[in-house]
Amino acid sequence: MKNIVPHHFSISKEQRTQQKGHGAFLIWFTGLSGSGKSTIANAVEEALFKKNIHTYTLDGDNVRKGLNNNLSFSPEDRTENIRRIAEVSNLMIDAGLVVLAAFVSPYAKDRANIKNCVGHTNFVQVFVQTPVEECERRDVKGLYAKARAGEITNFTGVNAPYEAPVAPDVQINTIETTVEEAVVIIMNCIAKRLGRESGIGNRESN
Ligand code: ADP
């Protein structure tokens, strides 16, 4: 960009990672509203926190109310929503955190852009694959009922599309898999990425 000259800061991502003692990357949860993204992300963050891993969770509540409070659910704004979240995730990875992000993110193209933004090796995609009928039965936030009544347009699964990931790193069917089992599956998937090269934070805190 014109007239933007990067300053070379002396502390690198590698040094920050070294100090924290574990790898930094993004775990991206995608799936329908009510599929279980936030529930599973929360349980994974608890498991990581117990291992003294430095984490942060981004979700609709803390992003749509602040940074992205000027965006709607139109296709263009959904894309911009995801672009900003990817950029924020990238900064947090640079800061040395394991970032968990739980967003419907219905478009394959947007999810591919996240992967490009943070780098392929820093991206773990978890598809929380719960059939729409089950999400609607749960209707955690009462949004399916509103969408069916025509009070919400652009509601994914009802009157807006969801493009299922073709080759996610992890796929969880929440009818067959409990939250606890999902945590074990995801922790196994990220074990290598967590590393623990310096050994710092290897102890459980309880
Ligand atoms: P999302 O973040 O995808 O919109 P939530 O996590 O807010 O979904 O809601 C999912 C709901 O489904 C919660 O009420 C949760 O308790 C319930 N649920 C039932 N079984 C599971 C499961 N195996 N995994 C995740 N959530 C489950």
More confident residue, 52 or 8: 52
Q: Which atom of ligand 1 is nearest to the CA of 60?
A: 2
Under a CB-based contact definition with an 8 Å cutoff, are residues 35 and 174 in contact? Answer: yes
Catalytic residue list contains 105: yes
pLDDT in tens, 175-194: 999 999 999 999 999 999 99
93: in domain: yes
Under a CB-based contact definition with an 8 Å cutoff, are residues 110 and 123 in contact? Answer: no
Which residue of 140, 141, 186 sits with most ligand 1 atoms within 8 Å of its CB, as the best mutation to test the pocket? 140
1: in domain: no
205: in domain: no
201: in domain: no
- Residue with CA nearest ligand 1 atom 1: 34
Residue of 33, 89, 105, 198 marked catalytic: 105
Domain count, the chain: 1
What is the span of the domain harbouring residue 95?
Answer: 22-196
202: in domain: no
Query: Measured from the CB, is residue 156 less than 6 Å from ligand 1?
Result: no
102: in domain: yes
pLDDT in tens, 116-170: 999 999 999 999 999 999 999 999 999 999 999 999 999 999 999 999 999 999 9
CA–centroid distance, 37 to ligand 1, in Å, is 7
**Percentage of the chain surpassing pLDDT 70?**
95
* pLDDT surpasses 50 at 86: yes
7: in domain: no
* pLDDT surpasses 70 at 94: yes
Residue 196's pLDDT band (cuts 50, 70, 90): low
How far apart, in whole angstroms, are the C-alpha atoms of residue 182 and residue 112? 23
Q: What separation in angstroms does the CA of 87 have from each of 65, 67, 111, 206?
A: 17, 12, 13, 34
118: in domain: yes
The CATH number of the domain where 106 resides is what? 3.40.50.300
